[in-house]
Each structure stands twice: as C-alpha cells, then as structure tokens.
Structure 1
Amino acid sequence: MPTSVSFDRLAHQPAYKVVSEKIRNAIVSGEIAAGDLLPTETDLAEQFGVTRSTVREAIRLLEHGGILGRAGRKRLVVTLPGMEAVGRSVSSAMLMHQVTYEELWQVAMGLEPLAGKLACLSATDEEKQLLADNLALTEQVMDDHDALLKVEIEFHNLVAEATHNNALLLARAPLNELFYPAWGAIIRALSPGERILVAHQHVYDAICAGDQDKAEEWMEKHMRDFRRGIEMGNLGFDQPVQG
C-alpha cells in the first residue's frame, strides 16, 4: 500500500528576493567591496534573466538595508551601513517584539562597562579632549533638562567610539534609538545632573589614566543609577520600550 504521508508544495521566493539575496551575499562575502559600482539595472536584469522591474525591487530592499546607495544619482554603489541605519532597523524589531526597558538595561549593563574598559586601551588624545569638552559642557547645562540629556547621550557615544571596536558600536546602536532617550524622563523627574557629572568625571579620569577596572566600576555605578532613577520615578521599567 502507498504511504499516507503527504508533502507540502515547495515554496518559491519571489524573484526579486532571490536577486536581492544573491547580490547581498556577494557584498557580505567581500566579492563586491564597499565603494564598488554595481552593473546597471539593465545589465543585472540580463545577468539574472529577470525583468528590470524585478531588479528594481531587489535594489530597493538593499538600499533600505543601507548596503547600496547611488553614485551620481544613477549608478549603484556598495556602501557600509551607517550606525543610525543599523540602529533603526534593529530598533524596529525590538519594538515589534515588545522588548522591555529592563531587557535593554541588562544589555547596556554588559556593553557600557565594557566600552569604558576598552576605551582605556585605545582612546586617542583627540578623543580624550572630546570627552573633556563634554564634561565642561555638562557642568554648564545641569539645570537644562534637554541639553543635559543631549550631553549625557553624547558622553556614552564618545566613550564607545573611543573603543574603536565596530562590533561594540553596532551592538549598542539600538540603545541610542530606544534606551538612552529614556534618560530624559529620569532627568525631568529627578534632576540628577550632579550625579551624572560625578560618574562621567570618574569614567573620564579612568580612561585618561588607563585604569580599566575603575572605568568599568564607575560605568557600572552609572548604569545602576539609571535603573534606580527609573524605579524611583515609577517609569515602568518592566514595560515595553516606546518608539
């Protein structure tokens, strides 16, 4: 007797997705490098054996992902995805998955102390000066909630950039989109300018001294302050983040 097992029909991806994935694989593998020009839409359509409209749809996906751009309005060029584009893309997924502030804080507790530690090893004199300038500005704007939020986020970004670690920068990109803006609610509710300045000063001093343990310790203290601020302000630490 023949088996009673039945099989589902094979699922075929739309042609534009197949084209998009093949181009993406060539870019990610390094076969096509950042800065290289792609063939024209007509040439791509001929190579893939599809219509130009199919190629356009494939290109639209890749442009949205930030790995293709336009050179001289027409020619397609391979680009490195910017941190902002990465942050927006991952942030959208986090919003849809209803990631909570606590989950983001747990990630930040891993990344920010690490950033402080790594910056001790790699921060340049120019980057240290940028941090010093940020501290001076922080002291001036402690009573201006919006300006304080701006310099607070900038400080964390400057420390992260001083690591020269692209993996860390990409991993923390969504934090800038969703997590750090939550500082605004804390700043407005608790006016923690003095505590922010003290923590930043200690992290800066540690980076200048190359003291990894101290930088890590004070960044941890700073992040724990953030959690306490959320809890004291009754701001819904266990709630999904808001876009």
Structure 2
Amino acid sequence: MVRLYLLVLTGGIKMFQTIKSMRVSEQIVNQIQSQIVEGKLTECQKLPNETGLAQEFGVSRASVREALTILESKGVIERHKNGGTFVCKYCLEKILAAIDIPRKLDSEMFEDLYEAREILEIKAGELACQRADELDYMKMKKTLDMMQESLERGDSGINSDVLFHQCIAMATKNQIIAGIDRSLGNMMKDMRVKTLAYPGRLAQCLKEHRAIYLAIQERDS
C-alpha cells in the first residue's frame, strides 16, 4: 500500500491531500487508513460528512461515497443512520492484518520474511523488557506450559510457539508492532510446522523460549 502522508486538521490546515491521479476512491481509502495507522484518526472518532471530505480531498461526493463503502466493507469505519461516520473499534488490527504479503512463499521470499520478523522481534524483545507487566508474564508462562504439554504428547507445538511470540509483541504495548508480528507469524506458520517436526527441535525451541521469558522477566535486554 502506497504510504500517503496526511495533514492534521487544525484551524485552517487541511486534514487530507488533494487527489490528483487516477483511482480516486482507492487513494482516499489509503489516506484514511494511513491516518489511522499513524494515530491521527482514533477509534470511535467521527469523520467529516461526505461534503466536507469531498472538499478536503478535492474530489466529487461520489468518489468519497465509494471510498467510504470500501472502508465500511473492511470494517474500518461504520456509518450511523443520521448520526455520521465513525472509525471502528479495533480497526487498526484489521488494517495491519491486510498487509499485502504473498500467501505462497518461495524460499527467497521466506528468507526475506524471516529476516523481517527477526529484526522486528529484536526490538520487540527490548521493549517487552521495559514494558511487560505481571499479566504479560502470566500469558508467556501459560504458553510455555502449553508447549511443554505438546512436547509430552508428541504434538507439533506450533500454536503455543506462535502464541509465545505474540505475547512478547503484545508486551511492547505497541499496537503496530503487535499487529505486524501477528501477520508475519501467521505467514510463517506452515514453515514453522515443518521445522518443529524435526527430532528434538521442539524441545530446543522450548528451552530457548524459557530463556527469553526469564530475560524479559529480569528486564535483561
């Protein structure tokens, strides 16, 4: 998705950029979604009416109406009859979950994906060390217990593995990190099933996860 930088509406300053190229409705969608990701539009915030948005974007009301229909179908906004248009709760996660990553990965793409997640998780681990609370520790511990049970049953342990990484991402208290980590984790799930199936790999993974858990608990980044 093309990243479009937006202006904050304060006084006479325009909130949105004037649309100058083709596929007008898609550009409106991108601008509104970008502003949500950047935190300039927040959950439950009311948007200007169609006329106001059309003036801000410099487009027709028909283009705005089409864009709002797209956003509503994605669960990003909701339109109340005679009550205006509002940003939906939890819409940020829906936007991040729709990041355009190919569903079928070749070996080169998987390496890129693995590298991206590795970079993200290094920073996530640092932030988790600083921000994790008792509830986060409890969730991490629970996933480790689940992994131990999988090891004893002879299961793959993939679900507890994915959950453990998500717990770390959530402990950062950063919605964007958590959302991206969830998307990347889901993309890598099939490959992780294969790697965890190697003899001894799940036990080694559990050992590594326990070390990470203790490091976060001890605030050792």
TM over 0.5, shorter chain: yes
The answer to whether the aligner puts 1:120 opposite 2:129 as a matched pair is yes
* Cα displacement string for residues 124-148 of structure 1 (whole angstroms, at most 9, x for unaligned residues): 01111111112112111113435x1
Rounded Cα–Cα distance in structure 1 between residues aligned with 2:185 and 2:48:
36
1:151-200 Cα distance to aligned partner (Å, 9 max, x none): 00000000111122334324434312312332112223445221121111
User: 1:87 touches 1:177 (CA, 8 Å); kept in 2?
Assistant: no
> How far apart, in 1, do the equivalents of 2:34 and 2:162 lie?
35
8 Å CA contact 1:115–1:159 kept in 2: the answer is yes
Q: Measured at CA, do residues 191 and 59 of structure 1 come closer, stay the same or move farther in structure 2, by a change above 3 Å?
A: farther
In 1: Cα distance, 2:47 partner to 2:96 partner: 22
Larger radius of gyration: 1
Deviation, 1:49, is 7.2
Pair 1:155-2:164 in alignment? yes
Q: Does the 8 Å CA contact 2:117/2:184 hold for their aligned counterparts?
A: yes
8 A contact 2:127–2:172 mirrored in 1 = yes
- 2:203 aligns with 194
The Cα shift of 1:22 comes to 6.5
Larger displacement relative to structure 2 (24-33 or 109-118): 24-33
Q: Where is the helix percentage greater, Structure 1 or Structure 2?
A: 1
| Identity within the alignment, % | 22
Q: Tell me if structure 2 keeps the 8 A contact 1:41–1:55.
A: yes
Distance 1:113 1:26, change over 3 A: closer
Distance change (3 Å), C-alpha of 1:58 and 1:209: same
Q: Paired residue for 2:192?
A: 183
Instruction: Report what 1:216 is aligned to.
Output: none
SS in 2 for 1:100: helix
The reply on whether 1:82 has 2:98 as its aligned counterpart is no
Q: In the TM superposition, what are the counterparts of 1:22-101 in structure 2 within 5 Å?
A: 33-38=42-47, 50=60, 52=62, 54-63=63-72, 67-70=76-79, 76-79=85-88, 81-92=91-102, 100-101=109-110
Give the C-alpha shift of residue 104 in structure 1: 1.2
How many residues align? The count is 199
Contact kept? 1:119, 1:162, Cα under 8 Å: yes
Gaps of 5+ in 1: 1-10, 213-243
Residue 37 and residue 97 in structure 1: after superposition, are their counterparts in 2 closer, same or farther (change >3 A)? farther
Give TM-score, length-normalised by structure 2. 0.69
How many angstroms apart in 1 are the aligned matches of 2:95 and 2:172? 20
1:101 to partner: Cα distance: 1.1
Aligned 8 A contact 1:160 1:169 in 2: yes
Q: Over the residues paired in the alignment, what is the CA RMSD in angstroms?
A: 3.7
Superposition deviation, residue 97 in structure 1: 10
- How far apart are the structure 1 equivalents of 2:27 and 2:94? 26
2:86 alignment partner, SS class = strand
Q: For the residues of structure 2 that align with 1:49 and 1:165, how far apart are their CA atoms?
A: 35
Q: Secondary structure at the match of 1:89?
A: coil
Task: Give unpaired runs (5+ residues) of structure 2.
Answer: 1-19
